[in-house]
Chain A
Amino acid sequence: MWKRDDAAKPAVPAAPGAAPTHTATTSPAVDAAATRPTAGDARGLERNAVNIGKSVVVKGELNGSEDLTIEGQVEGKIELRQNVLTIGPNGRVKAQIFAKAVIILGEVTGNVTATEKVDIRDNGSVDGDIASPRVAIAEGAHFRGSIDMQKAGAKPGEKPETKPAGASTSPAPQSPAGAPAGAAR
């Protein structure tokens, strides 16, 4: 009947420790500012989205059933198996991560497991192993570790086509013994 202004409604109450679905088990060092909405957080104030602010340090385990954006520091373990985890440009995470999708713009040290997608954006950094059916790594991102992806589309034993390439740019074969093949440079 009447318009409800969802965008203006903070997802999490401003009171400290009031985020019911997120638990900092080993250290309750969650700053109240972490969940307090600020003017610049308008986008993050949608329902089912929580923001851990720049000044917040969380040590322990984070579990939840809401999308989460981390701009602060988290050490330990993060489990959002049905939700999207975003590590913002200022986010520093040293943790094992389990989520539906993980978007990384900051730094992650630790293994990342996602049931849908891992997206490392420009200037994002991951040192650890990734397990996800889809992995996107932007130009300028840093990654070191292993990537385990389920095969999508191609059959396990499928061989790639081995047709000869176009003549104009095709390299000339050279004998392994070192005799020059005489290809144009």
Chain B
Amino acid sequence: MLSDLLRWGTKRAPETTAVPKPPAVKGIEAIISSKGLPKFLSALSNQPSPASLIDFGPVIGTNVAYLGERLGCKLFIEDLTNELSRHLKSGTMDALPDAVELRLRHGDASVDGILCWDFFDFLKKPAAQRVAQHLVNMLRPGGAIMGYFAISDVERSNFMKYEIVDDQSMRHRQHTGSGARHAHPNREIIRMFEGLTVAESFLLKNNSREILLRKK
């Protein structure tokens, strides 16, 4: 009996093997790996130096440091989320495409890269088409647009800001303001950005697609 107990005492339950926890996905502050970003950066670095890049904003210091110091880009930061928020509040969303065109007054084929983030999710189809065509005109051959597109409609969704962590990952952070998020089907995105080709498209775990569009 005692020997049984001693034997039992030495028999330890197999240690619960430490199950590797998935990397921090804390909802609004999730770090999500990006396959589009390295390709976008690669497209930029192939452009004649210094590349010019439009960031739809809001401004994030680390992104500025990363893109500016590391790639030597000329950055144009337009806080279009602010513009969007203003039009949503005043109920003048129909005027938003005009306002965007006014703010993005770059010549045709003068911009190498555009980070539009999830801006198009908050636009309805006609407005999205107008803004998209404006971006296509501004983009230089070889240039690229990177953005996030929701896969389903959300009645009320917070604005997000996207912080570059490194070459291959982004931190998706909550930003002030919210609006209705519209899902544009892939075929609609292709039509919106007529003149560009979808170079990469990745479905992310946070219910959105990361899409890289290139101009030939």
Contact = CB atoms under 8 A, between A and B. Distances in A.
Interface of A: 120, 134-139, 141-154, 156-166, 168-178, 180-181, 183-185
B130 interface: no
Nearest to B207: A185
Interface string B188-214: 001000000010111111110111000
A169 B23 contact: yes
A162 B42 contact: yes
Contacts of A184: 205
Interface of A is mostly: loop
B68 A141 contact: no
Interface size class of B (residues with CB under 8 A): 35 or more
Interface stretch (B75-83, B94-102, B133-141): B75-83
A136 B65 contact: yes
A137 B70 contact: no
Given A136-B65, A139-B61, A147-B64, A180 B71 contact: no
Given A137-B60, A159-B42, A162-B38, A169 B69 contact: no
B210 A160 contact: no
A146 B34 contact: no
Interface of B: 20, 22-23, 25, 31-35, 38-39, 41-42, 45-46, 49-50, 57, 59-61, 64-65, 68-79, 167-169, 185-187, 190, 198, 200-207, 209-211
Contacts of B69: 134, 149, 151-153
| From B46, B186, B190, B203, residue with most partner A Cβ within 10 Å | B203
B174 to A, nearest CB: 13
A154 B33 contact: no
Given A134-B69, A156-B49, A158-B45, A165 B34 contact: yes
Contact of B71 (A146, A151, A165, A166): A151
